[in-house]
Amino acid sequence: MSGADGAGASASALASLLAQDIHLHTSFSDDAVSPLPEVVAAAECRGLRRICISDHVRAATTSLPRYVAEVQAARLTTGVELLTGVEAKILDASGAVDVPADLTGIDRVLIADHQFPGESGPARPDVIAARIAAGELGAAEAVETLVEATCAAIRSVHGPVLAHLFSLLPKIGLTEADVPEPLVAALADTAARFDAILDVNEKWRCPSPAVVRRFLAAGVEVAAGSDSHRAQTVGRFAWVSATLTRAAADPWTGSLPGPGAVSSSQPLPAPLAADRPTAGA
């Protein structure tokens, strides 16, 4: 392949990856404002080929049949492929996920680290941060519990999507640098084995290019997710675009570079403090 052809293939591979939104919300979620038809119309305007409606649920949610029916009805009105997803938190160290028992009609379950999955149930991140700071809980132990719970959650649901992986770490005073490579590898390998999709998340700006690269190497499907809570931000991927470009070969070819640091020297956009989400359900 000539250089020019390679550059063309690069651009089209990246464009294809960005022509979807694996993580977005509609007014079915308490904290989102746009009704489903507006979200679908926005996806059409953005030229997206696939979106995953991923509204928040808990085990006690009773509105799933109506939700599934509305997404099914919307499928008849659009050329955009609509996946019916739900987003729910990992409850505890065993990897139990806070979803209703009956998930009929749900294509994908977005597994989210909204709280710390403790031995006896979900724990508030600020409480865990304080325990780590006080030396009551080791950082390594906390990271291991989080990763093992996430692996178990992947195994426990049909159609897993890893939502904003590692968004919890800054909230408990840690970073991705606190996650040893063998644990990242275990997550990536589990994700590959159970056909999980990795949500590269615009709103939370995670995971990093290095983690995305590790998942790509394991053969995991990686997808752009806006985590949009209003129609205007559906399919808008400035940070994700930069991250995927850095995670893969530079320029993007769809193939992987060898081991080592990411090759692009382009800085990533800084997080926007004003756009940080509040703690999820």
- State the number of binding residues for Zn ion (CB under 5 A): 4
Q: How far is it between the farthest Cα atoms of the chain? A: 58
Minimum distance from CB of 164 to Zn ion (Å)?
Answer: 6
Range in contact with Zn ion (rule: CB under 5 A) among 84-92, 149-157, 185-193, 234-242: 84-92
Which single residue is written with the structure tokens 């997803």? 85
Range in contact with Zn ion (rule: CB under 5 A) among 30-38, 63-71, 85-93, 141-149: 85-93
Interface pick for Zn ion out of 51, 96, 112, 206 (rule CB under 5 A): 112
Which of 113, 116, 97 has the alpha carbon at shortest distance from 57? 97
Minimum distance from CB of 183 to Zn ion (Å)?
Answer: 21
Q: By C-beta, is 92 or 227 nearer to Zn ion?
A: 227
Minimum distance from CB of 43 to Zn ion (Å)?
Answer: 16
The alpha-carbon radius of gyration of the chain (Å, integer) is: 18
Q: Residue 161 and residue 60: Cα distance in Å, rounded?
A: 21
From residue 130, give the alpha-carbon distance in Å to each of 28, 114, 115: 34, 17, 14
Q: How many CB atoms lie within 10 A of CB 273?
A: 6
Q: Which pair of tokens denotes residue 157?
A: 């649901």
Q: By C-beta, is 90 or 142 nearer to Zn ion?
A: 90
Decide if residue 98 touches Zn ion (CB under 5 A): no
Decide if residue 280 touches Zn ion (CB under 5 A): yes
Range in contact with Zn ion (rule: CB under 5 A) among 2-10, 73-81, 99-107, 219-227: 219-227
Contact 56, 30 (CB under 8 A): yes
Q: Kindly report the backbone phi and psi dihedral angles of residue 120, in degrees, each rounded to the nearest multiple of 5, phi listed first.
A: -105, 15
Interface pick for Zn ion out of 70, 113, 202, 227 (rule CB under 5 A): 227
Range in contact with Zn ion (rule: CB under 5 A) among 14-22, 87-95, 116-124, 236-244: 87-95
Q: By C-beta, is 88 or 249 nearer to Zn ion?
A: 88
From residue 98, give the alpha-carbon distance in Å to each of 60, 74, 122, 157, 186: 9, 26, 10, 11, 23
Minimum distance from CB of 52 to Zn ion (Å)?
Answer: 10
Q: SS3 helix, strand, coil % of the chain, rounded to 5?
A: 40, 15, 45
Range in contact with Zn ion (rule: CB under 5 A) among 109-117, 172-180, 216-224, 245-253: 109-117
Residues in the site for Zn ion, rule: CB under 5 A? 87, 112, 227, 280
